[in-house]
Amino acid sequence: MLHFEHINILGINFTKITENQLIKSLIDDHKHKKNRFIVTANPEIVLAARKNKEYQKIINHADYVTADGIGIIKGANILNTPLPERVTGFDTMLKLLKYSNKNKCKVYFLGAKETIIKDTIINVQKDYPDIIISGYHNGYFKNPDPIIKDIKQKQPDFIFVALGFPKQDYFIEKYREISNSIWMGVGGSFDILAGNINRAPEFWINHHIEWLYRLIQEPKRFIRMLALPKYLLLIYKEKFKQKK
């Protein structure tokens, strides 16, 4: 990982970084044509990585691992190793799209269902007219070879991979060497960009109940959200161990 300090939370090394610092650092990376991999990790990802050491290794191999979600910030506070703030995948992606628009960067979009990726591209073209869309593909492919060939040939500045975790992280780790780009896993972000799912209004975000807003929109997420109490329990166990 890079020169930023790290905080270990249940086996994942989080980068001690604010959103502004991250964007600044990524712009610098872009200017120097660096190959970068960003993970925005939430409690679900931390739990998944605890169960699967290979996945944990992949995440800890990323260049930046940010705290996506209030659960990570809370966990870090409980363990007395605070992280500065939440840095979400969606907000980071929007900032990078804005930068790409200003600087006419080449951007590649990979992931989500065919209709979603198509709408994502339409909206990006509308809102960021100066971005050069290097290419795009839905996230339901059997053979990655044509996509890899395309990315290799186009050498985009930024590559957003929306395959959900852990798929997107395995994909990036496996293929990042084919192009010196800024690679980032963005989960369900294309569903929001496409207008398929609404982002929580600011009130919900500021009151740390964005998760509740998502749950109301997508009730099938309930089972996934049970990860949060499980995660907090592990955090308290860890704290107890530290005290002994």
**Which residues contact ligand UDP by CB under 6 A?**
111-113, 139-140, 162-165, 167, 187-188, 190-191
Residue with smaller CB distance to ligand UDP, 79 or 215: 215
Give strand ranges (E) for the chain.
Answer: 6-9, 12-15, 36-41, 64-67, 106-111, 132-137, 158-162, 182-185
Residue with smaller CB distance to ligand UDP, 75 or 89: 89
**Alpha-carbon gap, residue 172 to 233, rounded angstroms:** 31
What minimum distance in Å lies between the beta carbon of 32 and ligand UDP?
A: 29
What minimum distance in Å lies between the beta carbon of 111 and ligand UDP?
A: 4
Asked whether 117 and 137 are in contact (CB, 8 A), the reply is yes
Residue with smaller CB distance to ligand UDP, 30 or 69: 69
What minimum distance in Å lies between the beta carbon of 114 and ligand UDP?
A: 10
Residue with smaller CB distance to ligand UDP, 29 or 160: 160
What minimum distance in Å lies between the beta carbon of 92 and ligand UDP?
A: 13
Residue with smaller CB distance to ligand UDP, 89 or 156: 89
Which DSSP category does 176 fall into? G
**Structure tokens, 208:** 């740390």
Please identify the residue of the shown chain whose CB is closest to the bound ligand UDP.
139
Backbone conformation region of residue 11, classed left if phi is above 0, alpha if psi is from -120 to 50, else beta: left
What minimum distance in Å lies between the beta carbon of 52 and ligand UDP?
A: 16
**Alpha-carbon gap, residue 220 to 132, rounded angstroms:** 36
**Alpha-carbon gap, residue 32 to 65, rounded angstroms:** 20
Asked whether 110 and 160 are in contact (CB, 8 A), the reply is yes
